[in-house]
Homo-oligomer: A and B are copies of this chain.
Amino acid sequence: MGLIVQKYGGTSVGSIERIEAVAARVAARRARGDQLIIVVSAMSGETNRLIALAGSISGDPSPRELDVLVSTGEQVTIALLVMALQKLGCEARSYTGAQARILTDSNHCKARIQDIDTRAMQGDLDQGRVLVVAGFQGVDDIGNITTLGRGGSDTTAVALAAAFQADECQIFTDVDGVYTTDPRMVPTARRLDRITFEEMLEMASQGSKVLQIRSVEFAGKYQVPLRVLSSFEDGPGTLITLEDETTMEKPVVSGIAFNRDEAKLTILGIPDTPGVAYRILGPISDANIEVDVIVQNVAEDGSTSLTFTVHHNDMKKAHKILQSVGEELKARSVTADSNIAKVSLVGVGMRSHAGVAAQMFRTLAENDINIQMIATSEIKIAVIIEEKHLESAVSALHSSFGLEEGSGTLS
């Protein structure tokens, strides 16, 4: 008998029928003896409906009031799920973020959890009740309703698991686990039984949108075992663990992440003097544009060039800034290109294995795919390639590293 936190996202509670299916799953688990805290999102579509209501009044609504408005979405779900549990004879009680005493700072729409006062909830747990808590929301120290930002329900679940020292935090989604790569692109992609927090962070930030990055960081920090499962079919899902919990040999590559959301900006032929990178990237950062991959090169003529990637939504703004910087620096040219994609190999085993980069580059070369940029970290090698080659690159790498055959698995 343990204490389990389960989180069900908007799709999993998107209709009365699905709420009843979640209730059946929860009640069955409760009947096996576990204590349960259930975190739910708003029914799918509801948050967007509420934001649209606000948008029809104001293009720039007050963040405080937006939180008052949007937080009703989860409040509806918690009440409905408790009703469904009670109908099954399962004792349960709902908690809004404020009632659960999920204390946050006052940064409306993107608040961070500071503390959870577990006393009230502990009393209900001790009496055998299932707690149903509204995800994504909290309350600041003077009683204002706050929200954690989109997808924040995962963070709520992890924070509750940490506060209650739960045995496991289970995130139910519409996929049955974390895959070696996106199965929609590579049909032979395989579900991983385990993945480390670090690998998960690289996978998530690279475009495997299974979990919110913040919740994974949070889970890692508080050492909460996290499991991703499907709310529509039974299965073990993928367990996200601390690296040192597993004594098995690490695989070289655990998975392949990719995304098409970046654009590449290049400034060519500028004097190679100290501080030039800052003079170029400072104004970009001042404009709140996040930069991902950065490469600087010196040419034969002694001039230098700098290439970096940003989210493609920021490309126009970044291009404008770069053009004005380019004039100041008398750059030879400034270019922008959104027809790019990023492919990343992720695996904690890379730390102790040489040759991964070489194998990656050889595989791409054999498939006539030109590499435009390279970025590496301890557990990741990422390349920027032309977008039209994305699918063949991912397929070739998936096969080259034997991901579909089991050699890359952690379990």
| A→B interface (CB under 8 Å) | 16, 19-20, 50, 53-54, 56-58, 61-62, 64-66, 68-69, 71-72, 75-76, 78-80, 82-84, 86-87, 93-94, 96, 98-99, 120, 142-145
Contact = CB atoms under 8 A, between A and B. Distances in A.
A16 B53 CA distance: 8
A100 to B, nearest CB: 10
B68 A54 contact: no
A54 B66 CA distance: 25
Q: Decide if the interface of chain A is mainly helix, strand, loop or mixed.
A: helix
Copy number in this complex? Answer: 2
For A62, A78, A83, A120, the residue with the greatest tally of chain B CB atoms inside 10 Å of its CB is A83
A82 B145 CA distance: 15
A72 B72 CA distance: 5
Contacts of A96: 68, 145
Contacts of A120: 142-143
A166 to B, nearest CB: 23
Nearest to A144: B99
A143 B99 contact: yes
A58 B84 contact: yes
A291 B69 CA distance: 43
28 contacts: A16-B53, A16-B56, A19-B57, A50-B76, A54-B79, A54-B80, A54-B83, A57-B80, A58-B84, A58-B86, A61-B83, A61-B86, A62-B83, A64-B94, A65-B83, A66-B83, A68-B82, A68-B96, A69-B76, A69-B80, A72-B75, A75-B75, A98-B98, A98-B143, A99-B143, A99-B145, A120-B142, A120-B143
